[in-house]
């Protein structure tokens, strides 16, 4: 049975982990994720919501097949997982995660690939890898550090303690905490809103932040104009600039535009 589903809500693609109750992530789900990324990229979707069926977002990796495998086979599996997660992270449109219940291990690392993370009030996050004698294998610790700083990232990785959504929000890992029953609706509403925005400009912001994470401010400055100047040739920017100038000259408030994404 499929472990992921991909549906559409207008311009928003909704990607659902669909292997409850624990939504464990293994080779089958990861293979489906690769196909889903290809479909999202080619579909014209202008935003993505990542969510899950069942009582919890994800308990993390499907660890049962790991026992008895030699290191080379395990590495091949983890490299597949990392490539798939990174491809999802690099989707050019905004990705919004809607997390409820437990979000542990590889599930947490997948949620960290989202640009904006909504969490239900009772959601809890954690790195259980320490209890297995291993580490966050899909980039979890350094992605938490990018959002919350080295000290918090190290503490949470060392202890494997579940961290409440409110604490994650205070640290900057979670963007918004909402009532449990509203988390998907709130994330979808936000995705619908950004899907009406300048899609190509959103892609440039994502690319600039990725460059900054790798090389810092100087590296992002180096590519800033290469990435941003082509936006002035887009229909969205031409309409946006023209409407802003017209409003300014008329002494009127700038109108809110619905962009075409072109």
Nearest residue to 26 via CA among 93, 140, 107, 141: 107
Q: Work out the number of other CB atoms within 10 angstroms of the CB of residue 97.
A: 26
Nearest residue to 143 via CA among 176, 117, 119, 166: 117
pLDDT along the chain (262 residues), means of 10: 95 98 96 97 96 97 92 94 97 98 98 98 95 93 96 94 97 98 98 97 96 96 97 95 93 90 88
* Prediction pTM value: 0.95
74: Cα separation from own chain's centroid: 25
Q: Work out the number of other CB atoms within 10 angstroms of the CB of residue 73.
A: 12
CA gap 215, 220 in Å, rounded: 7
Helix crossing, 199-228 with 235-250: angle to 10°?
90
Output the pLDDT for position 262.
Answer: 87
Q: Residue 241 is encoded by which pair of tokens?
A: 């600039």
CA gap 151, 145 in Å, rounded: 8
Q: Burial letters for 191-216: b for 16+ Cβ neighbours within 10 Å, e otherwise?
A: bbebbbbbbbbbbbebbbeebbeeee
Alpha helices (H) in the chain, listed in sequence order: 27-43, 71-89, 105-111, 140-148, 150-159, 165-171, 183-195, 199-228, 235-250
How large is the C-alpha radius of gyration of the chain? 20
Q: Residue 228 is encoded by which pair of tokens?
A: 């941003």
CA gap 166, 236 in Å, rounded: 37
> Residue 99 belongs to what H/E stretch?
strand 95-99
């Amino acid at each position: 049975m499929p472990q992921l589903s991909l549906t559409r809500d207008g311009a928003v693609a909704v990607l659902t982990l669909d292997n409850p109750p624990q939504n464990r992530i293994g080779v089958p789900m990861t293979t489906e994720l690769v196909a889903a990324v290809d479909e999202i990229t080619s579909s014209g979707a202008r935003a993505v919501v990542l969510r899950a069926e069942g009582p919890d977002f994800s308990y993390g990796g499907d660890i049962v097949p790991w026992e008895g495998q030699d290191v080379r086979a395990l590495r091949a599996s983890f490299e597949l997982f990392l490539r798939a997660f990174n491809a999802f992270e690099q989707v050019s449109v905004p990705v919004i995660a809607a997390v409820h219940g437990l979000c542990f291990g590889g599930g947490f690392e997948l949620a960290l690939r989202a640009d904006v993370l909504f969490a239900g009030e009772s959601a809890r996050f954690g790195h259980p890898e320490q209890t297995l004698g291993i580490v966050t294998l899909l980039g979890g610790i350094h992605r938490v550090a990018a959002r919350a700083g080295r000290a918090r990232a190290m503490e949470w990785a060392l202890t494997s303690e579940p961290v409440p959504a409110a604490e994650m929000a205070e640290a900057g890992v979670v963007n918004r905490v909402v009532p449990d029953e509203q988390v998907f609706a709130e994330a979808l509403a936000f995705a619908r809103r950004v899907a009406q925005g300048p899609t190509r400009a959103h892609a440039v912001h994502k690319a600039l932040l990725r460059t900054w994470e790798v090389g810092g401010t100087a590296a992002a400055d180096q590519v800033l104009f290469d990435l941003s100047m082509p936006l002035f040739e887009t229909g969205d920017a031409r309409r946006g600039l023209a409407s802003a100038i017209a409003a300014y000259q008329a002494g009127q408030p700038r109108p809110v535009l619905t962009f075409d994404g072109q």
